[in-house]
Amino acid sequence: MSDSSEPSGTFVYGRRYLQRPECQPVDPVLLPLRPDPILLTPGHFGAIRDAAPDYWGRCVLEYAKNVTELHEMDYLLDENACRIGNLDFRVSPLSPEPAFTAPYLASLEDLAKAAEAIDKERPDAVPEKILILLQQGSSIGGARPKTTVIDDEEMWIAKFPAKDDKWSNARVEAAAMRLAALCGVTIPVMRIVRLGKKDVLLARRFDRDFMEHGWARKGYLSGLSLADWNEFEHERFSYLTLADKMRELGAAGQLEELFRRMVFNILCRNTDDHPRNHGFFHQGATLSISPAFDITPTPCTPGVGTMPNLAMAVGMRGKEASRENALSVCARFGLESEEASNIVLTMTQTCLSAWEETFGLEGVSAKDKARFAHTFERWGEHAHP
């Protein structure tokens, strides 16, 4: 994706839309409400990019159309009522709304088999009926196989095993998320479904609410869009910038939540904490942080690589994943030094005392618990930051 300063497109709000009393910006950062055209810089598409499929959704769409690659516009215009957030894309204002055909939980086993076939690039065909269902629910972000399913008037993201998994990712992720909740991090409702010998993690979608006349959508921005970063500008990724943007858009009261997520990613060695793995709701120009998602720990060996970098800058020492680094700029998160230190200490003690039981309650095997033991127990050597 080019990073040229030349504009790559133009966005303009329709006159009739701006006249509606309930109109709100598509993206309060990149696309504020105004009548004149807005030039789009290559690589900076905000909420529009958030609503487009990521790696996995693109794989499914390419498989369905039997091509190796599509134009960016094709990924956007593919009819899908389950994409993340509240945006939809059509060739004309007169085009009908996409049919809502998200699969029900009863189809989960067939969907898992189809996802596995696509993930492993097997030549055997996926039944067209199942492919259509998988395609409908796969426009949500991320690189791992997943889809959207409906169960008991609730919409869930079903996260399937991937071909390169070395452990039950569903159980380890669920355990890490439960542990994050014990550390004061807000998480979505989750549960695990067992399909044969494989585990599927279900996480309730937080951008949809079931209403009497259908599904109400919530405006959504990733951290990448909130900070208006190009997804290849890795050197600019920073929790501090997200904190500043939250303050600018009226979410200063939730800065402690962001701080806790950053600290927990340090404690569990979640080095995949890139800005698209942080989400925010927007209602008009009002911002709020979404529940956490995609918190996945990594194992470590005693004495080897115990001080990794996160994907985003933490403090004065850049991306260094240390508690001292997190505390070095706690004021940016609206916290006094003593208050921040107490939060970090309490979270550390919670991880030390609760990780093993939490992993056990989520059914993580003894072998897999052993993989992650040092990830958490290493903090016992230095309980205080």
Question: pLDDT digits over 156-193, tens only?
Answer: 999 999 999 999 999 999 999 999 999 999 999 999 99
Band of pLDDT at residue 142, cut at 50, 70 and 90: confident
* Interatomic CA distance for residues 59 and 121, integer angstroms: 10
Q: What is the pLDDT of residue 2?
A: 43
Look at residue 305 and tell me whether its pLDDT is greater than 70. Answer: no
Task: Count CB-CB contacts under 10 A for residue 335.
Answer: 19
The pair of structure tokens assigned to 6 is 């030349």
Look at residue 42 and tell me whether its pLDDT is greater than 80. Answer: yes
Band of pLDDT at residue 135, cut at 50, 70 and 90: confident
* Interatomic CA distance for residues 348 and 310, integer angstroms: 17
Over residues 211-218, the mean pLDDT reads 84
> Structure pTM?
0.93
* Interatomic CA distance for residues 375 and 378, integer angstroms: 6
Domain ranges in the chain with CATH number 1.10.1070: 217-382
Over residues 113-125, the mean pLDDT reads 83
* Interatomic CA distance for residues 141 and 381, integer angstroms: 37
CA 81 to mean position of chain CA atoms? 18
* Interatomic CA distance for residues 46 and 52, integer angstroms: 10
- Decide: 310 and 271 in contact? Cβ < 8 Å: yes
* Interatomic CA distance for residues 180 and 159, integer angstroms: 19
Domain ranges in the chain with CATH number 3.30.200.120: 105-204
- Decide: 344 and 372 in contact? Cβ < 8 Å: no
Point out the least confidently predicted range of 23-32, 95-104, 217-226: 95-104
Percent of the chain whose pLDDT exceeds 70: 95
Q: Which three-class secondary structure state does DSSP give residue 14?
A: coil
Look at residue 345 and tell me whether its pLDDT is greater than 50. Answer: yes
105-204: which CATH topology? Phosphorylase Kinase; domain 1 (3.30.200)
The pair of structure tokens assigned to 122 is 């097997």
Residue 39 sits at φ, ψ, to 5 deg, of -80, 135
Alpha-carbon Rg of the chain, whole angstroms? 21
State the chain's mean pLDDT as an integer: 91
Reported residue count of the chain is 385
The pair of structure tokens assigned to 96 is 């009908």
Residue 329 sits at φ, ψ, to 5 deg, of -135, 35
- CATH class of the domain whose range is 217-382: mainly alpha
Residue whose entry in the numeric block shows the structure tokens 């693109």: 58
SS (H, E, C) 316-375: CCECECCHHHHHCCHHHHCCCHHHHHHHHHHHHHHHHHHHHHHHHHCCCCHHHHHHHHHH
CA 105 to mean position of chain CA atoms? 22
